[in-house]
Amino acid sequence: MKERLQEIKEEALKQIQSSDDEKQLQDVRVYFLGKKGQITEVLKGMGKLSKEERPVIGQLANEVRDEITEALESKKTKLEQAAMERQLKEESIDVTLPGRPAQVGGPHLLRKVIRNIEDLFTGMGYQVAEGPEVETDFYNFESLNLPKNHPARDMQDSFFITEELLMRTQTSPVQARTLRKHEGKGPVKIICPGKVYRRDTDDATHSHQFTQIEGLYVDENVRMSDLKGTLNEFAKHLFGEERAIRLRPSFFPFTEPSVEMDISCKICGGEGCSVCKGSGWIEILGAGMVHPNVLEMAGFDSEKYSGFAFGMGPERIAMLKYGIEDIRHFYTNDVRFLKQFHGV
């Protein structure tokens, strides 16, 4: 039995050494150390031995088993290391290669236009004011000289939530709220950017939701010439130093007198073309001197204070400035369209 155990050890060590992968190594383990393995088969003959021989053969069998087990573990470790080295070699990364460029986004074109306008007016001493998009009838209409049943309300179809709540149709309510906060004491100098809502049928020039920026300046001795100078500075900042402006009489319930402001067409330089419909001018915004009734309802003495207000649509400004023909492009989230203006 001693000779047989020695043969098993030598044969096992030889097979372990020649194993090329863990599957072969496992087969060797089962063949020599398993329940039906070679060492187990030898130990089944222990009953035929004398009492003196049994401990000797048992100890030898344990020593052979331990040597085979140690050799198996050692070989397994080497195979695992070799496999890891092969994997590292096959999956190696060339760190000298340039990395994949990450796609970088940018602000939406409307956000850029709004920020540009905000920068201009804050540099002129205006503060940015904001208010709720769900507004009361009082602030959206009545406080702006539009009492209930006033015919001018028909100019704007509105999204009413209840009889007294609606989605604001303009950012003018922010002006009314700010005036009330000042409790009749000037000066008040604000611009009010934000989203507004009107029941329009969406097409190339209309949208049920769009953005608006309004401005308000109330103080003692504010004149129409102050309004014209402010708008002239705005036009040159947004459209270029060569742009001229003109003011045409108009009507808004919350200003008196009221005007529409046009800028000279940048395509034809005022000579007349298809863009300006042959007039040489393009309408850009509405403005006027704050109506005395609006001042009085906000607690201001209209004999002491005066002011001007103006309102513009960033979408229209962006369309004119960058030659965009359809307002819906701003809201369809087409990345191909938006990418064109990352650098502006």
Please, what is the Cα angle at 316 between 313 and 317, to 5 degrees? 85
Place of tokens 């007349």: 272
Instruction: Choose among 220, 222, 214, 211: nearest CA to 252.
Output: 214
> Would you say 229 and 261 are in contact if contact means Cβ atoms under 8 Å apart?
no
The DSSP code sequence of 163-201 is: SSEEE-SSSHHHHHHHHHHTTT-S-EEEEEEEEEE----
How far, CA to CA in Å, does 177 sit from each of 96, 101, 134, 142, 297?
61, 48, 14, 12, 11
Closest-CA residue to 318 (of 158, 189, 207): 207
Consult the annotation and say whether 256 binds a ligand.
yes
Binding residues: 256
Binding residues for Mg(2+): 256
